[in-house]
Chain A
Amino acid sequence: MSIHHIHVTINGKHYEGDVEARTLLVHWLRDSLRLTGTHIGCDTSSCGACTILVDGKAVKSCTMLAVQADGRELLTVEGLEQNGKLHPLQEGFHVEHALQCGYCTPGMMMAALALLKRNPSPSEQEIREGISGNLCRCTGYVNIVKAIQYAAQKLREPQPEQVPAGSGGGGE
């Protein structure tokens, strides 16, 4: 079983380490790097809970080997917030009540991010198709669609001021 020394940029930060050839990328992120925001929900690349961006493209990190990430740039949910400012998707998920148990949420946001990069003004149907590789058991998707529409709008017309969501709720 070969061992490989890999270098990966994650959320703008450099990481390196030794991995077994068979180590799944999601396990390396979670167990070795302790980036536990990326979740595991199935074994068959069906649920999308482990979705991250690799070189800008959404990928299911349970179906990629850690060694395959060598030299690549990754973005995980932990990298969405920049300088204390939530990403419009994070904001949208909060404002539109697009999460309940929160388990699918990171993967869902990362899939949505990839969708909006490709298509900044998706229709409802395009959003639904765009997140069809990500399963949610709690929300019924209606509010996830709204959250992505919210973020799309926000990203198209950048607002100087963003609602600080999160720190202790927010009773708007």
Chain B
Amino acid sequence: MIPGPFDYQVAGSVAEAIALLDRYGADAKVLAGGHSLIPLLRFRLASPAVLVDINRLRDLEYIQEADGVLHLGALTREVELETSDLIRRRYPILADTARVIADPVVRNWATVGGNLAHADPANDHPATMLALGAQLVATGPAGQRLMAIENFFTDSSFETTLQPNELLTEIRIPAPSERSGGAYLKLERKVGDYAIAGVAVYLTLDGNDHVTYAGIGLTNVGPTPIKARAAEQLLLGRPLEEAVIAQAARQAAAEAQPVSDLRGPADYKRAMVETLTIRALRLARSRATGGASR
């Protein structure tokens, strides 16, 4: 498994990366952690003319909370999310997600931005970011552009609304308000696998345990990452009781579009969305109300 020929350019700054992307356009691919791209090259399923390596852009590796927003540099390695005190304490859903991505060695190099920008419906961060209502910063020749995560993915697998000369540079996540919490649960055939199904939920509760914010994202049960909007709507304004949880989980399952493959038949995957949604909602409720974090 040997990659076909390509040229390689290393970007010394974000501006340089943008300039390179602007010059090569659709012939270029951004090389971040490379754990999706390099296997594609090795199987000769992708044959870009040039790789633009952004791994030297240390100024895209950061985890900072400021002004009520968590800022994640797009090049933040998964291991940093997994082990950051701030993330574990304030955003356990992100630690949940990072620690089930591939394996520990891969996570040393794999990046959160790459996990999103590859737009693989089997990747884990898209669901989590959909649940959190993240915003993404795309940087291009004309400067920065902010977009909601749900506007980042298109109706096609492996496709985003990034322009060929734009780089995903930052992910912004609203800081948790009082009585909010989330969880990401992933069912996999074995450790390191892509999900059979994955469910991310994020909730905010009012003083009466009624839901004031609900975000639900689904992994690998459709051609794209899925935001379970109807299930979210169903939760809003309702008390987070078992009957409501069950109803929302059924709705989330209905919004999944799984197909049968080596990870199981479609009906199983749909049922797993229901099971995982129930479990994730219970865990999120527990976290939101100050219960056990796991």
A residues at B contact (CB < 8 Å):
1-2, 4, 20-22, 24, 43-46, 48, 51, 57-60, 63-65, 67-68, 70, 111, 114-115, 118, 129-134
Contact = CB atoms under 8 A, between A and B. Distances in A.
Contacts of B3: 22, 24
Contact of A21 (B8, B34, B83, B191): B8
29 contacts: A1-B6, A4-B8, A20-B5, A22-B2, A43-B39, A45-B35, A46-B192, A48-B103, A48-B105, A51-B105, A57-B79, A57-B108, A57-B109, A58-B104, A58-B105, A59-B108, A60-B106, A63-B34, A67-B10, A68-B34, A70-B10, A111-B104, A115-B104, A129-B104, A132-B103, A132-B191, A133-B103, A133-B105, A134-B105
B51 interface: yes
A65 B35 CA distance: 11
B103 A65 contact: no
Interface in B18-60: 31, 34-35, 38-39, 41-43, 51, 53, 55
B234 interface: no
A104 B94 CA distance: 31
B102 interface: yes
B14 to A, nearest CB: 18
Interface in B71-123: 79, 83, 102-106, 108-109
A2 B191 contact: no
Contacts of B7: 1-2, 21
Interface of B: 1-10, 31, 34-35, 38-39, 41-43, 51, 53, 55, 79, 83, 102-106, 108-109, 191-192
Contacts of B5: 1, 20-22
Given A2-B8, A68-B31, 11 more contacts: A20-B5, A21-B8, A21-B51, A24-B2, A24-B38, A45-B38, A57-B79, A63-B34, A65-B51, A131-B104, A132-B104
A18 to B, nearest CB: 13
A126 B35 CA distance: 23
B103 A64 contact: no
A44 B233 CA distance: 40
Given A68-B53, A132-B191, A111 B105 contact: yes
A70 B3 CA distance: 19
B44 to A, nearest CB: 11
A20 B6 CA distance: 9
Given A43-B43, A132-B191, A133-B192, A64 B104 contact: no
Nearest to A64: B34
A4 B82 CA distance: 34
A21 B106 CA distance: 21
A59 B105 contact: yes
A24 B4 CA distance: 11
Contact of A68 (B9, B35, B55): B55
A165 B191 CA distance: 33
B34 A44 contact: no
A64 B192 contact: no
Contacts of A2: 7-9
B8 A133 contact: no
A118 B83 contact: yes
Given A1-B5, A22-B5, A130 B104 contact: yes
B98 to A, nearest CB: 13
Contacts of A44: 39
A144 to B, nearest CB: 14
Nearest to A129: B104
A54 to B, nearest CB: 8
B180 to A, nearest CB: 28
A22 B6 contact: yes
A57 B7 CA distance: 26
A56 B116 CA distance: 26
Complex A-B, nearest 5 residue pairs according to Cβ-Cβ distance, in ascending order: A133-B103, A21-B8, A43-B1, A1-B5, A133-B105
A63 B108 contact: no
